[in-house]
Amino acid sequence: MTSSAKLSPETDVQAISLIRGLAMDAPLYAKSGHQGTAMALAPLAHVLYSRVLRHAPQNSAWRNRDRFILSNGHASILQYAMLFLNGYGLEMEDIKAFRQWESQTPGHPEVGHTNGVEVTTGPLGQGFANAVGMAIAERNLRERFGRDLMDHHTFVLAGDGCFMEGISHEAASLAGHLGLDRLVCVFDDNGITIDGSTSLTCSDDVAKRFASYGWNVIQGGEIGEDLDALEAMLNAARNHTGQPTLCILKTHIGFPSPDFTDVHEAHGNPFNAEHVAKTKAIMGIPDEAFWAPSDVVAKVRSHAASRGSELLSAYDTAVAHAEGKHGFDQCWSDPNGDEIAALMPAFAPDSNLATRQAIQQCIESSASAIPGLLIGSADLTGNTGVKVKSVGAQSKQLPTGQQVYFGIREHAMGAAMVGMALHGGVIPVGGTFFVFADYMRPAIRLAALSKARVIFVFTHDSVGVGEDGPTHQPIEHLASLRVIPGLQVIRPADSNETKVAWECALTYDGPTALVLSRQSLPITTDGDAVRYGAETVVNTDHPQVVLVGTGSEVAVCVAAAKLLHAQGVEANVVSMPSFDRFAAQSAKYRETVFPANVPVLSVEAGVTFGWSQFAHVSVGIDRFGASAPGSTVMSKLGISPENVADRAHELVARSK
């Protein structure tokens, strides 16, 4: 616990005025940004950081800190002002560089870029769902290893935009069902969106909505300028047990501007120098750009550092006597690749498993070496193979459970997993059908931007899905994921490659998409192609053509190569499970896979977009699929050994 000492009332007033001044000055200086929300929420943010939030600026990575997420990330200047004022390393030059090239204060908060930012926010609703994931991670670790090691809250600030986005409905429903009582959300109820009043588009009763989800709801009302009332509200939320809490705070965007209070234009950057001067006059501070008296900054920083020192000291004392420390530390360590590899199952050369079945065996075999594993699915646990028999189901009744049933909530699952990963101490794995990656794309993109170690397991990866038809047959999805920078995409050809893919996903410093088959596949590789991104699995002395495929199409290429050999054409076959891993190899290695002057034919049951960087001709599916047995659809759309051999003949003839 920290001492009850607070800043003086005079310092509180000056600090809030300073925050509001920066909220006007930085966007004005940058000619870009959002002023009004940050101005209205300055008192709340100051109370949160100076009285409620358990944080330590001198050690921003302290494991047991309270997490704060600004879900309405467009108000980033508010968070930057707090990080500056509380001593997280931002200085006035950083504030002046708001939204500029290579600055520490980008347009929206970015984790790993600015010290003190927990998650990357901006796309509305994502931060709220990230917070739900953080709360799941915190509770699981607390219940498994004890409160001396993990015992904190997650605070998230959200606005009307966050709650209009569909992801918030899914995430709030999940949080209420799980009873995540260390989750506190403050709803900035200002009734404003970019287009105007929320009455234009929305008539939800937010309090009743969240109550129906199983949340505790506190109606804060018009207390936005009452620091003691704000503190009491936040502490009441912190102390509530059994449910997550929503604090509804009625605010006035742009306050105390005489020109833009409660005006929807205040959402953006309407303040010119005259508007700023008039507002500063009302606050009683100088009409001075970036006004920040050194004594006020020093007092707030000293106060934050003192509170942080007390918290860190108390935590160190508690940890020293904690029984579960060894296992807890293991959760925060990177998985041991050699240990994982030693636990992997051996697949017989004549085995014939779908890669979604192989991944389940790999996960089950290695679970003991991944103490931080939190694994689940969006209502497709058995179908996707993301199941560990030895762990219980995560629930309000069994918070130690490591099997998460997300329900039919792909949006929330993706973002919650990002929150889990960024919380630390857990490795989230989530599965669904590949076609539903569309629902998760914003979270996948933010996982890559955040370098969050999240493992997305996507199964039923092609028209091989069969009878479910084109609505469930992914066509463009592989190409769409491959273009996301930093996302490791692996589509293994068989059980051996699936085994290595699981190892590579666990040890990759960022998110991975594992793209797996519904249908059974023969063993065609030794698995090493995954390590290099691509490898020759059928090698001839004098190849006339290279057939390159991924996933289930590698077996098609192997069969086509046999047909070609019988017809007098020699073909190498390359398995290429990962474009991005192959791109990381040396030019010399890449030339051994694709020798100069040998034509290349790619084969993949999806759009041909992207293959031109490797192949001269592509066999693919540049249309939607059809409802029929999977093998029939594959054959009818040209994914067959016979068609591949015919196309290879044409390519060889043309090359000559």
Q: pLDDT tens-digit profile of 329-378? A: 999 999 999 999 999 999 999 999 999 999 999 999 999 999 999 999 99
Residue 537 has a pLDDT of: 98
pLDDT of 326 reads 93
Compute the distance between CA of residue 265 and CA of residue 86 in angstroms, rounded to an integer.
Answer: 30
Whether residues 369 and 470 fall in one domain? yes
Q: What is the pLDDT of residues 205-225, one digit of tens each?
A: 999 999 999 999 999 999 999
Same domain, yes or no: 57 and 205: yes
Tokens of 82: 């707090």
Residues 143, 60, single domain; the answer is yes
Do 182 and 61 share a domain, yes or no?
A: yes
Torsion, CA 437, CA 442, CA 443, CA 445, rounded to 10:
90
d(CA 238, CA 539): 64
Tokens found for residue 41? 């929420």
The answer as to whether 219 is a domain residue is: yes
**Whole-angstrom distance between the N-terminal and C-terminal Cα of the chain?**
79
Q: Which strand (E) or helix (H) includes residue 409?
A: none
Cis peptide before 599 (omega within 30 of 0): no
Q: Which tokens go with 463?
A: 């028209």
Confirm if 170 and 411 have CB atoms less than 8 A apart. yes
- List beta partners, residue 194: none
Residue 588 CB partners (closer than 8 Å, separation 6+): none
Which pLDDT score, from 0 to 100, does residue 4 have?
A: 59
Cα–Cα nearest to 606, from 458, 433, 463: 463
Contacts of 85 (CB under 8 A, 6+ apart): 15, 18, 19, 49, 297, 300, 301
**Long-range Cβ contacts of 4-11 (<8 Å, 24+ apart):** 5/303, 5/306, 6/50, 6/51, 7/50, 7/299, 7/300, 7/303, 8/299, 11/296, 11/299, 11/300
Residue 332 lies in a domain: no
Please indicate, yes or no, whether residues 124 and 263 belong to a single structural domain of this protein.
yes
Q: Which alpha helices (DSSP H) does 57-115 contain, by range? A: 76-85, 92-96
pLDDT at residue 1, rounded to an integer: 41
Burial (CB < 10 A; 0-12, 13-18, 19+), residue 581, is: buried
Residue ending a domain, choose from 472, 498, 522: 522
328-359 residues labelled b (16+ CB within 10 A) or e (exposed): beebeeebeeeebeebbeebeeebebbbbbbb
Residues whose CB is less than 8 angstroms from the CB of residue 15 and which lie 6 or more positions away in sequence, other chains included: 7, 46, 50, 85, 296, 300
- Is residue 286 domain-shared with residue 343, that is, in the same domain? no
The pLDDT confidence band at residue 2, using thresholds 50, 70 and 90, is very low
Q: Which residues have CB under 8 Å from 635's CB, separation 6+? A: none
Q: Are 133 and 416 in contact (CB under 8 A)?
A: yes
Q: Is 324 domain-assigned?
A: no
pLDDT per residue over 395-428, tens digit each?
999 999 999 999 999 999 999 999 999 999 999 9
Range of the domain at 545: 530-655
What average pLDDT does the chain have? Answer: 97
> What is the C-alpha separation between 375 and 365, in angstroms, rounded?
14
pTM value is 0.97
> Same domain, yes or no, for 499 and 554?
no
Does residue 567 surpass a pLDDT of 80? yes
Secondary structure of residue 79 in the 3-state scheme: helix
Active site residues: 410
Please name the helix (run of DSSP H) or strand (run of DSSP E) that holds residue 388, with its range, or none: none
Residue 453 sits in a domain whose CATH number is 3.40.50.970
Neighbours of 226 (CB within 10 A): 15
- Structural domain count of the chain: 3
Q: Give the model's pLDDT for residue 295.
A: 98
* Residues in Cβ contact with 325 at an 8 Å cutoff, skipping those fewer than 6 apart: 145, 149, 319
In a domain, 326, yes or no: no
Residues 503 and 596 in one domain: no
Arithmetic mean of pLDDT, 518-546: 97
CATH number for the domain that contains residue 567: 3.40.50.920
Domain termination site, one of 283, 317, 351? 317
Position 330 in a domain: no
Burial of 242 (0-12, 13-18, 19+ CB in 10 A): exposed
pLDDT of 279 strictly over 70: yes
**CA 244/CA 132 separation, integer angstroms:** 9
End position of a domain, from candidates 263, 286, 317: 317
435 and 536 together in one domain: no
| pLDDT tens sequence across 496-506 | 999 999 999 99
Specify the DSSP element, H or E, that contains 378.
none
DSSP conformation letters of 164-175: HSHHHHHHHHHH
Average pLDDT over residues 569-589: 98
User: How much of the chain is helix, strand and coil, in % rounded to 5?
Assistant: 45, 15, 40
Q: Are residues 200 and 349 in the same domain?
A: no
Residue 287 sits in the same domain as residue 194: yes
Taking only the tens place, the pLDDT of each residue in 599-636 is 999 999 999 999 999 999 999 999 999 999 999 999 99
Confidence at residue 5, expressed as pLDDT on a 0 to 100 scale: 85
Residue 331: inside a domain? no
Q: Are 438 and 295 part of one and the same domain?
A: no
CB of 215 closer than 8 Å to CB of 277 = no
Flag whether 550 is in a domain.
Answer: yes
Q: Quote the percentage of the chain above a pLDDT of 90.
A: 97
